Each structure stands twice: as C-alpha cells, then as structure tokens.
C-alpha cells in the first residue's frame, strides 16, 4: 500500500475465475497499477466487440475496452498448448460466430472518443477508410459470388503467404531487438522451417491444399465437439460460459466435421462464402467509420 491510496493490480480481482465465474469485468478506475511484466500483448484473438487491445498471462486472457478490463480464464495456455487451446478454447464455429458479431457491432457502434483521437492525431483520412472499405466489400462480394474460383486463388496464393508470415512471427518471438539477443533458438529454428514450408508450398497443387485443409478442419471440428461434449456431460458447473451456447457450438462443430467427409465440395463453397461475407462486413465497417469520421470533420 502506498501512502494516501490503496494499490490495486488487475490480478487482485481475478479470484472469482477460479470459483466458477466465466468472466470478470473490472472498471479501469479500480485498477491503480499498470499491468505487470507477466502480461504479454496478444496479437491474435477471437474478435470481441469494443476491444481495443488484448493481453495474456498464462491461462488468463484480458480484453481491454475503453472503460474496463474483461478477463476470462482459458482452459489451456496457448503458449504451452496451442493445439488444445484451438480445439477446446476456440472452436472454429465459435471463432466464425464471434467474428460476425464483432463486425456487426462495430458497424453500428458510435465511438466519438476514437474518432476524436483520429482527428487530433491526423493519422488517417476518411477517404482512405472509405477506399479500403470499398475494396474489402468488392473483394467480399466477388468471393461470395464465385466461391470455388476464390477458394482456388486463396489456397494457391494466400496460404503460402500465411505460412511465411506465421514463420516470421515465430522467428520474431525468438529474438529480442533492444538489446539484440537470441531468446529462443528453438523458436527461431521452428520459424525458419515454417517459412521454408511456405516458400515451397507455392508449387503444391490446389487439390493437395484442399485435402490438407479438409483434414485440418475435420480434426479441429471433431476434437472441439469431443471436448465440448465431455465438459457438457459434467453439468452446468463445468461450462460457466453458457451451457446451451456451448451445446450448440459442440453440435455445429460435429456437423462441420461430418460435412467434410459427406459433401466436401459443398463445404468448400460454404466456408469460402463465409470468408467472403466476413471480408464484406469488414469493408462495410471501414466505410461506415470513414463516413462517420468525415461527418465529425465537417462539424469540427
């Protein structure tokens, strides 16, 4: 305790997470101390409405909003068990649904604080937001209208780039810039291998890419369904985030995995249409935010 005021770190409010509470919402005014070094900024997260940043500390995962810290406890630390984290904490069906909800929320959300910051800093012009938004909407519309052609282009061009970008991120986690030093030789080597896979995968036929994606989605779906139903069998206490919600997620995960083997072509089209719809919604979000920014610049 410091003289004149009570010191309160975010960690002091996390006890209920170990007693059956799914998420704690802590007002920023209640947290007087900055996040300690154990909290690391998370670059990849399931989209959440209102989130401006996200941090992890072991199994703790916090979403920062303008006024609150929203913290939940993952079942698996993604840094230690990345596969199990995807299977149990972030099923594919849940990630897709959360992305749609976050994008729709962002379209309708009015956020004058963010707009004011943009105006003051002059970091982005409304024309660029609208331009990129229109490009995203056009891309999304093309994907929705031409799913199989788009799938071929995505797997042949974008998937290798995804591997290369992922490899670069892994290498980056293995080094420290200031001062420059090697943190993890294993991560550097793993990142280089992933980059190499990305480079040579440009010559991989679309059919082979499709088979790989089918297997990954099928395993992900079956694994998520199995883990979800296993927890559901223990009763409501084992699923504090919502019994019926995760019952639906488990059923949809199983259905998704079954469709992989029953109607692979139709599922390819459906998944590609979903990606196109996400791109269309993301573009619409940029356009709406750009027009809002323009309106505030006019009234300024």
pLDDT at 122 over 50: no
Cis ω on the peptide bond leading into residue 182 (within 30° of 0)?
no
Sheet holding 23-27, edge to edge: 23-27, 68-73, 60-64, 53-57, 40-41
Tell me the average pLDDT across 68-84. Answer: 86
- For residue 193, give the nearest of 216, 168, 172 by alpha carbon: 168
End-to-end CA distance of the chain: 44
Biggest CA pair distance of the chain: 68
Q: How far apart are CA 112 and CA 293, in angstroms?
A: 9
pLDDT tens string 246-277: 999 999 999 988 988 888 878 888 888 888 88
pLDDT at 118 over 50: no
Contacts of 140 (CB under 8 A, 6+ apart): 276, 277, 278, 279, 280, 281, 282, 283
Q: Write down the pLDDT at residue 227.
A: 92
Confidence category of residue 88, pLDDT binned at 50, 70, 90 = confident
Summary mean pLDDT of the chain: 81
Most confident of 86-90, 165-169, 227-231: 227-231
Tell me the average pLDDT across 29-57. Answer: 82
Q: How far apart are CA 101 and CA 97, in angstroms?
A: 6
pLDDT tens string 196-244: 988 888 888 877 877 888 888 889 899 999 999 998 998 888 888 888 8
Q: How far apart are CA 176 and CA 183, in angstroms?
A: 6
Query: Quick check: pTM over 0.75?
Result: no
Q: How far apart are CA 185 and CA 81, in angstroms?
A: 19
Instruction: Pick the range with the lowest mean pLDDT from 71-85, 94-108, 110-124.
Output: 110-124
Q: Write down the pLDDT at residue 229.
A: 93
pLDDT at 166 over 90: no
Domain boundaries, the chain: 1-73, 116-159+201-299
Q: How far apart are CA 144 and CA 88, in angstroms?
A: 29
35: left (phi over 0), alpha (psi -120 to 50) or beta: beta
Confidence category of residue 2, pLDDT binned at 50, 70, 90 = very low
């Amino acid at each position: 305790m410091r003289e004149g005021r009570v010191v309160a770190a975010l960690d002091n409010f996390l006890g209920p997470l170990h007693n059956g509470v799914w998420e704690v919402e802590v007002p920023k005014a209640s947290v007087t101390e900055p996040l300690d070094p154990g909290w690391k900024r998370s670059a990849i997260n399931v989209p959440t409405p209102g989130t401006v940043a996200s941090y992890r500390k072991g199994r703790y995962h916090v979403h920062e909003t303008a006024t609150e810290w929203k913290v939940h406890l993952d079942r698996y630390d993604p840094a230690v068990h990345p596969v199990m984290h995807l299977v149990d904490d972030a099923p594919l069906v849940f990630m897709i649904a959360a992305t749609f909800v976050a994008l729709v929320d962002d379209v309708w959300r009015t956020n004058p604080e963010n707009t004011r910051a943009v105006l003051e800093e002059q970091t982005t012009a409304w024309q660029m937001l609208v331009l990129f938004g229109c490009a995203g909407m056009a891309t999304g519309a093309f994907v929705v209208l031409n799913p199989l052609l788009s799938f071929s282009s995505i797997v042949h061009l974008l998937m290798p780039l995804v591997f290369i970008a992922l490899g670069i991120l892994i290498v980056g986690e293995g080094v420290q810039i200031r001062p420059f030093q090697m943190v993890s030789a294993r991560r550097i080597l793993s990142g280089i291998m992933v980059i190499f896979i990305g480079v040579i995968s440009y010559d991989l036929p679309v059919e082979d890419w499709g088979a790989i994606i089918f297997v990954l989605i099928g395993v992900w779906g079956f694994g998520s369904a199995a883990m979800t139903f296993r927890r559901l069998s223990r009763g409501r206490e084992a699923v504090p985030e919502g019994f019926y919600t995760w019952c639906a997620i488990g059923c949809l995960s199983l259905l998704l995995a079954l469709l992989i083997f029953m109607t692979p072509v139709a599922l390819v089209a459906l998944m590609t249409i979903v990606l196109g719809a996400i791109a269309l919604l993301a573009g619409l979000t940029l356009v709406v935010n750009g027009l809002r920014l323009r309106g505030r610049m006019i009234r300024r």
